[in-house]
Amino acid sequence: MRFRLTTLARRYDSTLVLASFSLINGFVSIALMATVAVLSGQPFIFPSLGPTAFLFFYTPLAASASPRNAIIGHLIGAVAGWVSLALFGLLAAGPALSAGLSAAHVGAAALSLGLTSGLMVLLKAPHPPAGATTLIVSLGILHTPVQLAVLMAAVVILALQAIVINRLAGLPYPLWAAAPVVQEGERR
């Protein structure tokens, strides 16, 4: 009990406690994912996992940091990115960063981000790092079905880590969705 995050934050500077918690768990989570990537030869680490890990350990009780929003958000981003690549005829093209940015790449990136943003709002599953995921896919950095499956497996693994770590820290971290926030004067 005395090593629970809330207990430590009451005894010590809460900013320092939260910074230490975020530093240690961000490091451990991404180091683990990078190790899995190296051992498997698959892209289990990609840029939008960093902001997801940050949300999981800095604002763990925010709706955008729930496993539901992270998994649904990244799934929307991956699918929207792939669909945008397909619609612009870029599935066989190389990544825009090495093949060169074309008008088709710009169109795919713009469409994918629009689709991702709109669908996350419609599904009430906002997760800002998914905006990076959709660009990673729509710019052709990760684009094969196997790479997209690994990307989603990495998000699920990271979400499971967040559940375990945040619950061990004594936080009421959700197993799936964050508890709804009820505004003053509102009824459920």
Q: Is the model's pLDDT at 163 over the cut of 90?
A: yes
Model pLDDT, residue 5: 80
Q: Which residues contact 115 (CB under 8 A, 6 or more apart)?
A: 76, 80, 83, 84, 134
Given its phi and psi angles, is residue 102 left (phi above 0), alpha (psi -120 to 50 degrees) or beta? beta
Model pLDDT, residue 138: 98
Cα of first residue to Cα of last residue in the chain, in angstroms, is: 33
Angstrom CA distances, 83 to 76, 103, 106, 146, 149, stand at 10, 16, 14, 15, 15
Q: Please, are residues 170 and 5 in contact by the beta-carbon 8 Å criterion?
A: yes
Q: Which residues contact 43 (CB under 8 A, 6 or more apart)?
A: 37, 142, 147, 150, 151, 154
Q: pTM of this prediction?
A: 0.92
Tokens of 164: 């375990």
Spatial distance between the Cα atoms of 6 and 166, rounded to a whole number of angstroms? 11
**For the chain, give me the number of helices (H) and strands (E)?**
8, 0
Tokens of 24: 């240690």
Per-residue pLDDT of 106-152, as tens digits, reads 999 999 999 999 999 999 999 999 999 999 999 999 999 999 999 99
- CA atoms lying within 13 Å on the CB side of residue 5: 23
Per-residue pLDDT of 69-91, as tens digits, reads 999 999 999 999 999 999 999 99
Ranking 5-14, 19-28, 71-80, 160-169 by mean pLDDT, the lowest is 5-14
Helix 130-138 / helix 145-168 crossing angle, nearest 10 deg: 160
Q: Is the model's pLDDT at 2 over the cut of 60?
A: no
Q: Is the model's pLDDT at 179 over the cut of 90?
A: no
Model pLDDT, residue 82: 98
Q: Is the model's pLDDT at 184 over the cut of 80?
A: no
Angstrom CA distances, 14 to 30, 128, 168, 174, stand at 24, 25, 18, 22
Per-residue pLDDT of 20-50, as tens digits, reads 999 999 999 999 999 999 999 999 999 999 9
